[in-house]
Chain A
């Protein structure tokens, strides 16, 4: 059974940093691109970042480029999102998501999602 378990969310002041983790199980982690998708309170879904299965290719939304860094440790089956220079508008539930197809560098969409972790940026 595929499972994705996010952790690391919490309350942080504007300008602060936070690192999210997503522990994956139930599939060959290194074969799949992974993404982070966020949802601000009462708002729609926003794609944040994606990483290829090998970790060699990374992609970012313009809204987070230069502030967030996605990475993965395939030996630990874990996906990360390092978030720096956080702003109030980064407040959201952050989901990690597994790509639908293996071996696609950028990815094609998500067949499994974690339960989400809430990040609140406020003073």
Chain B
């Protein structure tokens, strides 16, 4: 079984809809992250959480919200999806040692 899982793997939605992307991990890591990846722009951090009671905005948090339901679960929500949120979304975890992060398989989101 994969250590970091994301659901759904692919999603098509319409402008204005609310959607949630979910991430679960079995690595026992405290730190979890949400990134989006766009062609030519690398990975950009949306939100991160260092433990269940800690939520921090990343570089591009506008239009997104998160929930850390448990150590193993970190969800990303788009309250009202817009087309420029079409991207590949990755969840990652880290045990904080030298900041090495381990990535989930990604969710490909298309907003029409």
User: Do A and B actually bind?
Assistant: no
B residues adjacent to A (C-beta < 8 A) = none
State the A residues within 8 Å of B (CB). Answer: none
